[in-house]
């Protein structure tokens, strides 16, 4: 807004007000007197521009965006902790129970996990002590921080709930505009979406009113990677909204709303393509880049956003890769047409065959 208020422009305007009968060349007394004032004024305009940007949600950042969002009751989602399944055995591979609160370090890392809940004999929910996505990156063998009698092996085997880093500005800003455009109130669809957006570990969500008769609501969720949600995440969100789907108003959902939380199912997609590999790349490199690009397209642009995998867009995804010069042929599930998804299906790249043209 203040692009025309640079140091040079301000100084030139100030000097223009000085009569030409006075020496105002660089190095003159009047020039040297006005230059510092012009610099301070220019900095003031820079500060004014920063203040102006901080006042609006589309340009505010960090704590300024937090303050703007707080005006409508939104707060930045804090980092959440990863929960993985831990399996513990004693002598002879027999399942071994440990005490809740037992702490372990993952081998070859500085990441610690603590036992928070028993799943079955020798199986526990293990929560990462460090909030954020770092707990998603480790798995395998653990060693106890304190001695545990009879313990032979301790392993993290699978992620139950993904840990998430603190919400970034773009995500918070998107929730702000969603909230002001879609007023959530009294258990309407927008409010269920808002509850899902604010819940740690949940990515995209869909809401199905009256899905099983009067007063029923189905909320289908994905995890924070926009993939199928784990049973633990589904159960946790179910308890948050409507414990045991009884509609008693004991959760966030209003009295009378019988809520069922579910997740998606996969629609397997096979991609076969014959391509010309770009100079300087190998077919293996092209294959890996293609897999990552398609999976990213599925998760970020299709899952719970669209009901179709576009044949044309898959082709565009491939041609946009540096590793691929051109496409000779392309099929999706053996054909050359779009793939339709059901309302609770998300695409899954279960097979990718990339052949180099000869």
HEC profile for 245-307?
Answer: HCCCCCCCCCCCCEEEEEECEEEEEEEEEEEEECCCCCHHHHHHHHHHHHHHHHHHHHCCCCC
Q: How confident is the model at residue 222 (pLDDT cuts 50, 70, 90)?
A: very high
pLDDT higher than 90, residue 5: no
| The pLDDT of residue 233 | 95
DSSP β-bridge partners for residue 206: 220
| The pLDDT of residue 52 | 87
30 and 24 in contact (C-beta within 8 Å)?
yes
Q: How confident is the model at residue 184 (pLDDT cuts 50, 70, 90)?
A: low
| The pLDDT of residue 185 | 74
Summarize pLDDT for 55-85 with one digit per residue, the tens: 899 899 999 999 999 998 899 999 999 999 9
User: In a 3-state reduction of DSSP, which class is residue 343?
Assistant: coil
For the segment 262-284, the average pLDDT, to the nearest whole number, is 95
Reading the block at residue 117, the tokens are 């809940």
Summarize pLDDT for 107-135 with one digit per residue, the tens: 999 999 999 999 999 999 999 999 999 99
**Cβ within 8 Å of residue 340, ≥6 positions away:** 307, 308
pLDDT higher than 90, residue 277: yes
Query: Tokens 């230059």, residue?
Result: 35
**In angstroms, rounded to a whole number, what is the distance separating the alpha carbons of residues 122 and 90?**
9
For the segment 296-304, the average pLDDT, to the nearest whole number, is 95
Query: Helices marked H in the chain — which ranges?
Result: 7-16, 29-54, 62-70, 169-181, 189-198, 231-241, 283-297, 311-319
**Cβ within 8 Å of residue 100, ≥6 positions away:** 115, 116, 117, 118, 124
Mean pLDDT of the chain: 93
| Greatest Cα-to-Cα distance within the chain, rounded to the nearest angstrom | 102
CA distances to 93, 98, 302 from 227, rounded to whole Å, are: 33, 32, 11
Best CATH choice for the domain 83-161 from the list 1.10.20, 2.40.30, 2.30.110, 2.60.40: 2.40.30
| The pLDDT of residue 12 | 87
H or E stretch at 155? strand 153-161
222 and 303 in contact (C-beta within 8 Å)?
yes
Give the rounded percent of residues in the chain with a pLDDT score beyond 70: 99
CA distances to 7, 9, 41, 246, 347 from 38, rounded to whole Å, are: 6, 9, 5, 69, 60
| The pLDDT of residue 40 | 93
Least confidently predicted of 80-84, 177-181, 201-205: 177-181
User: In a 3-state reduction of DSSP, which class is residue 30?
Assistant: helix
Q: Where are the domains of the chain?
A: 7-70, 83-161, 182-263, 267-356
**Cβ within 8 Å of residue 58, ≥6 positions away:** 173
């Amino acid at each position: 807004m203040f692009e025309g208020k640079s140091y040079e422009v301000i100084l030139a305007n100030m000097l223009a007000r000085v009569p030409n009968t006075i020496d105002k060349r660089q190095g003159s007394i009047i020039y040297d007197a006005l230059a510092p004032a012009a610099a301070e004024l220019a900095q003031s305009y820079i500060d004014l521009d920063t203040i102006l940007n901080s006042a609006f949600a589309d340009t505010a950042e960090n704590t300024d965006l937090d303050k703007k969002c707080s005006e409508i009751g939104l707060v930045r989602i804090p980092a959440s902790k990863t929960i993985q399944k831990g399996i513990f055995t004693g002598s002879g591979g027999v399942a071994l129970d440990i005490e809740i609160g037992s702490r372990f370090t993952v081998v070859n890392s500085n990441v610690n996990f603590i036992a928070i809940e028993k799943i079955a004999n020798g199986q526990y929910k293990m929560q990462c002590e460090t909030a954020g996505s770092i707990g998603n990156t480790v798995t395998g063998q653990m060693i106890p921080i304190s001695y545990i009698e009879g313990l032979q092996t301790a392993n993290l085997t699978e992620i139950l709930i993904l840990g998430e880093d603190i919400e970034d500005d773009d995500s918070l800003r998107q929730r702000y505009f969603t909230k002001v455009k879609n007023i959530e109130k009294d258990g309407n669809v927008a409010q269920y979406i808002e509850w899902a957006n604010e819940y740690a570990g949940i990515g995209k969500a869909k809401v199905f009113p009256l899905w099983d008769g009067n007063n029923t609501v189905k909320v289908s969720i994905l995890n924070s990677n926009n993939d199928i949600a784990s049973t633990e995440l589904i159960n946790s969100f179910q308890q948050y909204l409507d414990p045991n789907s009884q509609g008693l108003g004991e959760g966030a959902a209003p009295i009378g709303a019988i809520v069922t939380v579910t997740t998606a199912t996969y629609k397997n997609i096979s991609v076969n393509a014959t391509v010309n590999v770009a100079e300087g790349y190998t077919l293996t490199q092209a294959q890996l880049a293609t897999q990552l690009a398609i999976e990213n397209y599925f998760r970020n642009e299709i899952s719970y956003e669209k009901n179709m995998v576009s044949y044309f867009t898959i082709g565009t995804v491939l041609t946009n890769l540096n590793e691929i010069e051109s496409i000779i042929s392309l099929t999706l599930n053996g054909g050359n047409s779009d793939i339709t998804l059901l309302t609770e299906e998300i695409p899954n790249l279960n097979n990718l065959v990339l052949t180099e043209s000869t």
